């Protein structure tokens, strides 16, 4: 018999997700004078983050996509089977926007919210990199 996870556990995974993303963006505001190797950190962090999500999708779901293991874990705790579409069609951004009561139902909005963090991070890293050279 499958036991549904307590809401506090699911909320903890959401909070962990949120913390990782806030750290990811918050560290952009740390001066390069304080942390000269910051751009190298972001490159490695981004590579690990994107790489792990691509590998997770490829190995677990047999898909060429980015699927976050934390999202899969949260959805599994909500009783969705691992291979359920809700594991790879659901995104943290969709959940965050829903909690903020921002409605995004169009396919374009779903694509943007799924990839907005990756795109914003890439743009900021490129701008930071070229401003240093």
pTM (predicted TM-score): 0.68
Task: Look at residue 16 and tell me whether its pLDDT is greater than 90.
Answer: yes
Residue 50 has pLDDT above 80, yes or no: yes
Of 56, 53, 64, 49, nearest to 82 by C-alpha is 56
Could you give the CA distance from residue 47 to residue 32 in angstroms, rounded to a whole number? 20
Dump pLDDT digits (tens) for 28-47. Answer: 788 878 888 887 887 788 78
pLDDT at position 46: 79
> What is the DSSP annotation of 87-112?
HHS--HHHHHHHHTT----SHHHHHH
Alpha carbon distances (Å) from 11 to 1, 20, 29: 23, 14, 27
Place of tokens 């190995």: 59
Rounded to whole angstroms, the Cα distance separating 40 from 115 reads: 22
């Amino acid at each position: 018999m499958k036991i549904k996870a307590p809401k506090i556990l699911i909320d903890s995974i959401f909070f962990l997700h949120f913390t990782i993303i806030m750290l990811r963006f918050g560290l952009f505001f740390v001066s390069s004078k304080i942390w000269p190797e910051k751009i190298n950190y972001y490159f490695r962090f981004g590579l690990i983050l994107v790489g792990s999500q691509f590998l997770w999708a490829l190995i677990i779901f047999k898909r060429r996509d980015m699927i976050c293991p934390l999202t899969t874990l949260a959805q599994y705790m909500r009783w969705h089977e691992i291979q359920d579409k809700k594991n790879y069609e659901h995104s943290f951004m969709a959940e965050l926007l829903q909690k903020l009561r921002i409605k995004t139902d169009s396919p374009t909005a779903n694509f943007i919210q799924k990839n907005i963090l990756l795109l914003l991070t890439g743009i900021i890293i490129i701008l930071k990199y070229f401003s240093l050279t």
